[in-house]
C-alpha cells in the first residue's frame, strides 16, 4: 500500500489567538514524521501565515478565488495565499460551494502561482466534471456524511470506487482523495483499499480531546 496524503481541515472549529491551530499543526507534523506519512493542514485563512511560519508542515488554504490583483474586495487571492506560506488549497468544499466556472477559475489562479489544488466533490458526476478541469486532486465527500462519524468507505463505497474509475478515464494524472466521516485507522485503510490515495478529514481530529492520539490511531494501520 502506497503512502497516503492526509489533509486535516480545521474549518472554523478553533477560536482564539490561533495557538490552537499551531498546536494541532504540530501534532500533524510530529505524527507524520514518526509514521513517515504526509499530513497536511488547512487552517482558517487568517491562520495560514501563523501556522506556516511556526510549523514545518504542508499548509493548505480552505479556499482560493479565481481573481488576480485588482479591485476585488474580500477575496482569497492565490498569490497572497501562497506568499503567506500555503502550498495548496481546497476548492469547492461542500461548505463553500462554487459554480463550475468559478471552480475552473480558482484552479487556474492556483496553478498560476504554484498552489496544489484539491477540488471537493459530492458524487461521481461532479467528480467527473471536476477531473476534466485538471486539478491535482479531487476529494469525494457526500455532504450528508460530513461530521457524521460514519465513513463514506462504509456507507457508500461505490461513490469512491466509481469516482476513481471515472477520474482514471478522464485524466489519469488527477488523484482521488476520500472524505466524510473519516476518523479511525480502519477508515483510512478502507479508503486506500477502495482506490483513493488518501483522505480529507476534519472533526475526527480537530474536535478530538487528544488530537495526537487521534492522529496516531488514524495512521496505525498504514504500513
Concatenated DSSP letters for 147-183? TSS--HHHH-HHHHHHHHHHHHHH-TTSEEEEESS--
Among 19, 93, 95, 193, the one annotated catalytic: 93
Non-local (6+) Cβ contacts of 123 within 8 A are 140, 142, 159
> Is the separation of the CB atoms in 178 and 160 below 8 Å?
yes
pTM above 0.85, yes or no: yes
pLDDT band at 3 (very low <50, low <70, confident <90, very high): confident
Mean pLDDT on 150-173: 87
Q: Is the dihedral of CA 175, 26, 83, 11 positive or negative?
A: positive
DSSP 46: G
Q: Is residue 155 part of a domain?
A: yes
Model confidence at 145, pLDDT cuts 50, 70, 90, reads low
How much is the pLDDT for 16?
Answer: 74
Instruction: Please check whether residue 63 lies inside any domain of the structure.
Output: yes
pLDDT at 143: 66
Residue 223 lies in a domain: no
Q: In the prediction, which pLDDT does 126 show? A: 95
Q: Which of 84-93, 176-185, 204-213 has the lowest mean pLDDT?
A: 176-185
**Among the listed residues 119, 107, 114, 46, the one whose alpha carbon sits nearest the alpha carbon of residue 79:** 114
Residue 181 binned pLDDT confidence (cut-offs 50, 70, 90)? confident
Q: Is 17 part of any domain?
A: yes
- On the question of pLDDT at 148 being above 70, the answer is no
CATH number for position 188: 3.20.20.70
User: What cell was used for 212?
Assistant: 495526537
Residue 142: pLDDT over 90: no
pLDDT tens profile 108-133: 999 999 999 999 999 999 999 999 99
63 catalytically annotated: no
CA dist 29 and 8 (Å) reads: 11
Catalytic residue, from 95, 141, 158, 168: name it: 141
Strand order in the sheet with 60-61: 38-42, 5-9, 198-201, 175-179, 137-140, 116-121, 88-91, 60-61
N-term to C-term CA, the chain? 7
pLDDT over threshold 60, residue 1: no
Which residues sit opposite 39 in a β-bridge? 6
Domain interval for residue 203:
5-218
Counting the structural domains of the chain, the total is 1
Residue 168 annotated to the active site: no
pLDDT at residue 147, rounded to an integer: 60
Q: What is the pLDDT of residues 44-59, one digit of tens each?
A: 999 999 999 999 999 9
pLDDT category at 156 given cuts 50, 70, 90 is confident
Amino acid at each position: 500500500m502506497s503512502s497516503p496524503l492526509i489533509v486535516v481541515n480545521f474549518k472554523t472549529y478553533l477560536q482564539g489567538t490561533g495557538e490552537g491551530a499551531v498546536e494541532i499543526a504540530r501534532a500533524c507534523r510530529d505524527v507524520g514524521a514518526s509514521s513517515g506519512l504526509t499530513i497536511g493542514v488547512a487552517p482558517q485563512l487568517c491562520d495560514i501565515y501563523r501556522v506556516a511560519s511556526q510549523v514545518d508542515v504542508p499548509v493548505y488554504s480552505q479556499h482560493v478565488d479565481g481573481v488576480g490583483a485588482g479591485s476585488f474586495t474580500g477575496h482569497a487571492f492565490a498569490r497572497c495565499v501562497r506568499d503567506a506560506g500555503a502550498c495548496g488549497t481546497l476548492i469547492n468544499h461542500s461548505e463553500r460551494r462554487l459554480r463550475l466556472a468559478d471552480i475552473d477559475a480558482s484552479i487556474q489562479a492556483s496553478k498560476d502561482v504554484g498552489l496544489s489544488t484539491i477540488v471537493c466533490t459530492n458524487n461521481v458526476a461532479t467528480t467527473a466534471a471536476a477531473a476534466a478541469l485538471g486539478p491535482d486532486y479531487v476529494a469525494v465527500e457526500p455532504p450528508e456524511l460530513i461530521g457524521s462519524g460514519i465513513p463514506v468507505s462504509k456507507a457508500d463505497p461505490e461513490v469512491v470506487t466509481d469516482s476513481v474509475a471515472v477520474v482514471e478515464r478522464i485524466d489519469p494524472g488527477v488523484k482521488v482523495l476520500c472524505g466524510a466521516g473519516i476518523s479511525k485507522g480502519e477508515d483510512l485503510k478502507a479508503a486506500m483499499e477502495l482506490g483513493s490515495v488518501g483522505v480529507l478529514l476534519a472533526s475526527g481530529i480537530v474536535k478530538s480531546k487528544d488530537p495526537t492520539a487521534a492522529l496516531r490511531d488514524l495512521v496505525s494501520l498504514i504500513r
